[in-house]
Amino acid sequence: MAEKLSAVKGMNDIAAPESAHWEWLEDKIRQLMARYGYRNFRAPIVEPTALFVRGLGEVTDIVEKEMYAFEDKLNGEHLTLRPEGTAGVVRAAIEHNMLYDGGKRLYYMGPMFRHERPQRGRYRQFHQVGAEALGFVGPDVDVELILLACDLWDELGLTGITLEINSLGQPAERKAHREALIRHLEAHKDQLDADAQRRLYTNPLRILDTKNPAMQALVEAAPKLMDFLGAESLKHFDTWRALLDAQGVTYRINPRLVRGMDYYNLSVFEFVTTELGSQGTVCAGGRYDGLFEQIGGKPSPAVGWALGVERILELLKSQNRLPTAPVADAYAIVPDAAVLPQVLPVLRALRRAGVAVLMHTAGAEGMGSMKSQFKKADASGARFALIFGPDEVAQGQVSVKPLRAVDGQVVAQRAEALADAAHWAASLR
């Protein structure tokens, strides 16, 4: 036998029944996005490497070590499997002049790729849903995005997700803070771990985000960006907060909340849970007013978030919120293959009428006994068996037998409706 092949490490197959949970979640998201006026956007999964290097920043984790970058064998182009969605959205907005007649709200969902150490809640191919509001200065739209996320948690029945917010101010304010921060860290250089040493002059803000317990006291005592914000930035932050307060949205101000990408300014936020171990951030985002210019567009304000689909699904599972959907409404039992010419059009008519029907198919031994067909019908998870025995078919009828006694009355009603539908379908022949 040929050698077995397996999926790439950190990249998962998603099969039934889990794939039904994905579809269910995606449907919920689509409906909610529509209600908020966010329209679907689909970008290519491969983009020029330069987009991420310029958009995310050269010294970010993603660009430094997480990108699946490669050279196109045919024309030598430098390409990258997208590690996130925002840069592609902004690239497209510039390329197609999407903001010519005002702001745009859009959302995307799909796979992202980062070369990380695979663990619970952290994969190499993972999926994000992102919502982006392009061309709006906020902070009203920053609030809208938060409410959108909160409504999604409610819609999904999720609890225990808390919101953390911060302001990153504007580049000049960050520069002043950065200098003070470097001075503080330099004064305690002996306490910095290797990662922090490496980032000291390239991305010191990111050091504040360290998970190393030995460095907590040091980062706790570090100068806070909040203290460097000017009047305009503080006003944006305060208005954002006041609007959140007015909606009864609770949050915690986390002065150490910075984001992985360079492009953020002003509002930044994360939704976190304590239920997923160390991979507790389920959704994160913020304002990125500088990104359009950074990748060659006209300056345009923008804000957005991205949620991790795998983490949301895991939370749904642990909070028992995933639906248990039956595979099919009915399973068609066909004792004798000779009646198939009459059976197939009935099943087709039922499906056209909206009934999900699974048909018994022949094995190597033919159709099999009634007993074995009933076993299969039962195992399929279908609610009803439709029996196409020779007598039934001869009379243009079909017997409907409930397989599951979920709720007696419901089953009886459904059986009746199904019998009607089957009868009607049969009459179409």
**Can you give the binding site for ligand ATP, defined by CB under 6 A?**
84, 114, 116, 121-123, 126, 128, 260, 279, 281-284, 306, 308, 310-311
Q: With respect to ligand ATP, which residue has the nearer C-beta, 113 or 388?
A: 113
> Whose Cβ is closer to ligand ATP: residue 260's or residue 326's?
260
Are 166 and 257 within 8 A, CB to CB?
yes
313: which DSSP letter?
A: H
- Residue 10 zone, left/alpha/beta (φ > 0; ψ -120 to 50; rest): left
Q: Where are the beta strands (DSSP E) in 201-264?
A: 252-253
DSSP one-letter string for 126-167: EEEEEEEEES---SHHHHHHHHHHHHHHHHHT----EEEEEE
Minimum Å distance from CB 376 to ligand ATP?
37
The three-class DSSP label of residue 325 is: coil
Least distance from ligand ATP to the Cβ atom of residue 112, Å: 7
Tokens matching residue 154: 């409610």
Instruction: Using DSSP, state whether 189 is helix, strand or coil.
Output: helix
- Beta carbon of residue 283, minimum distance to ligand ATP (angstroms, whole number): 6
Comparison of 225 and 306: residue with beta carbon closer to ligand ATP: 306
Q: What is the spatial distance between Cα 68 and Cα 340, in angstroms, rounded to a whole number?
A: 51
Q: At 97, which amino acid appears?
A: N
Amino acid (one-letter) located at 313: L
Kindly tell me which of 12 and 239 has the beta carbon lying closer to ligand ATP. Answer: 12
For ligand ATP, which is the closer residue by CB, 287 or 414? Answer: 287
Asked if residue 297 lies in contact with residue 90, where contact means CB atoms within 8 angstroms, the answer is: yes
Structure tokens at 6: 């397996």
CB closer to ligand ATP out of 96 and 211: 211
Q: Closest approach of Cβ 368 to ligand ATP, in Å?
A: 44
Minimum CB separation of residue 113 from ligand ATP in Å reads 9
Nearer to ligand ATP, 311 or 414 (CB): 311
Return the residue nearest ligand ATP (CB atom): 308
Nearer to ligand ATP, 126 or 292 (CB): 126
The two tokens of residue 381 are 């998870």
58 or 71: CB nearest ligand ATP: 58
Question: What is the nearest approach in angstroms of ligand ATP to the Cβ of residue 134?
Answer: 18
**Least CB distance to ligand ATP at residue 118 (A):** 8
Three-state SS for 120?
coil
Q: Smallest distance from the beta carbon of 77 to ligand ATP, in angstroms?
A: 25
Tokens of 275: 């239920």
With a CB cutoff of 8 Å and minimum separation 6, the contacts of 327 are 16, 356, 358, 380, 381, 382
DSSP 359-417: E---BTTBS--HHHHHHHHHHTT-SEEEE--HHHHHTT--EEEE---SSHHHHHHHHHH
Report the nearest approach of ligand ATP to the CB of residue 402 (Å): 42
Q: Which two tokens stand for residue 224?
A: 């806070």
Give the C-alpha distances (Å, rounded to integers) separating 350 from 347, 377, 388, 415: 5, 17, 14, 13
